Amino acid sequence: MDYFYQPTGGAEPMSMIWNSDVIGTCHLWRTTIIGSPTIWSRVYVSSRTSFEEISTWMARVGSCPLDVELDFTNGEENCTSPRLQEVILSTWNYVSSRKIRSLQAQGFLSPSLFPLKGNLAELRSLKLFCYRDQCEDDESNVPTAFTLFRSHMPRKLGRLEVNATYEPLLTFFPVGNPTIDLSHLRKLRLAGKVKVELPLIARALATCRSLEVFECNIRQPFDAPPILLPNLEKLTLVGYEILASFELPKLHTLRVQTLNSGEYGGLLRLNGLKTLYIDKELLVHNAAEFLASIPSIVHLQLPGGSPSDSILEELSKFMPGPNPGELSLPCPNLQVLQCSPRDIDVLEALVDRRIAPAPGLLGIWVSPWHRPRRRSDKWLEKIHWKMHPTYWERPLQ
């Protein structure tokens, strides 16, 4: 159970958590009594935060390790505001004697972030955000914060996320600094429109021997030998072309936005792949052969589309079942087939024709966050009734 300390900030209490200025969160609050070191707390800071709120919050969390996040509840605040600088400095005066385990900060706050350099030794998670519309007033400060963390990167950092749309941040990735140790990094996420030079990230990834989760928007393959990531389990990419740049012996979950089923050579080497998510587009040329090439798939999510390019419609053409009017799925180990409601009309037609189930198939899962408004629960019952008895319909959440 989570307990939230939410200061009123005035006569009227704040009803929405994301509108509050300071929030202290202690997980497993009851362990406070025995002084468990696993308790962590979180604080959000904006220019509306008062020193009284900070001191009250710090008194309540005591000596717990801190998960500190800087967040701006007012998007129109100027990052050079003297009041904001004063509040941030005051906050760090309170947390300077405690270990900071996680930090989330806007990248353009470089003048305010320098005082925390001495508190990064125990940092485990770092998230940096930088958007063009937030830094137009003071563009000269934008790369400075990234330079700060590049030169003071914690040696045991386990999670690094960068979300930026500012193009000059070409060399943020902490490569070339001999004091930086990326061997503990377990999750790396480069989101948004982060521009990273391929040689830099290729050299950096070669040192990430413990990396388990990697998300990136890179499409172009590296002009280098394949990079071995021995412990990587989850990979998220924009396109499939870069798969040839990696050796992934333990990969079991792959998410791509676009996948051309006619050129899927990179998937053939992923013998342990269990889950495949295709978010936006699957070019369905020879779809049956494509799915048959990855027999280890257990969970397959297919993108929706118009009836003319529907993957389910394409499957109905290429995979006739053993009996007339049946559809046979070519994935022998498939347990869950997840689809978009944009494919519901085609799916209903396939169910009416009967589906010859794969040996272990448990059901068809219509994404719960895309519940079709034009359909009723009776339609789902209809699908369940017409399915093979070994199917079960996963309930909508």
- Give per-residue pLDDT as tens, 322-363: 565 555 566 777 777 776 655 555 555 555 554 555 555 666
The Cα–Cα gap between 139 and 131 comes to: 11
Residue 65: the pLDDT is 58
Residue 170: the pLDDT is 44
Parallel, antiparallel or unpaired: strands 355-356 and 299-301: unpaired
Over residues 274-323, the pLDDT tens digits come to 888 876 666 555 566 667 777 788 888 776 554 444 555 555 554 555 56
The answer to whether position 375 is within a domain reads yes
Query: Domain count of the chain?
Result: 1
**Residue ranges in the chain modelled with pLDDT below 50:** 1-40, 72-80, 134-143, 167-171, 175, 306-309, 318, 354, 368-397
The residue behind tokens 């989850």 is 234
The answer to whether position 12 is within a domain reads no
The answer to whether position 254 is within a domain reads no
The answer to whether position 63 is within a domain reads no
Parallel, antiparallel or unpaired: strands 66-69 and 41-43: parallel
Q: What are 265-270's contacts with CB under 8 Å, separation 24+?
A: 266/240, 266/241, 267/240, 267/243, 267/293, 267/294, 268/293, 268/294, 270/243, 270/294, 270/296
The answer to whether position 153 is within a domain reads no
The answer to whether position 158 is within a domain reads no
Q: Are 45 and 70 in contact (CB under 8 A)?
A: yes
Return the CATH number at 369: 3.80.10
pTM: 0.67
The Cα–Cα gap between 193 and 218 comes to: 10
Residue 234: the pLDDT is 92
Residue 293: the pLDDT is 72
Residue 46: the pLDDT is 58
Residue 10: partners with Cβ closer than 8 Å, 6 or more residues away: none
The answer to whether position 299 is within a domain reads yes
Residue 87: the pLDDT is 64
The Cα–Cα gap between 63 and 130 comes to: 31
The answer to whether position 50 is within a domain reads no
Indicate the DSSP class of residue 394. Answer: P
Q: Tell me which residue range forms the domain holding 335.
A: 259-397
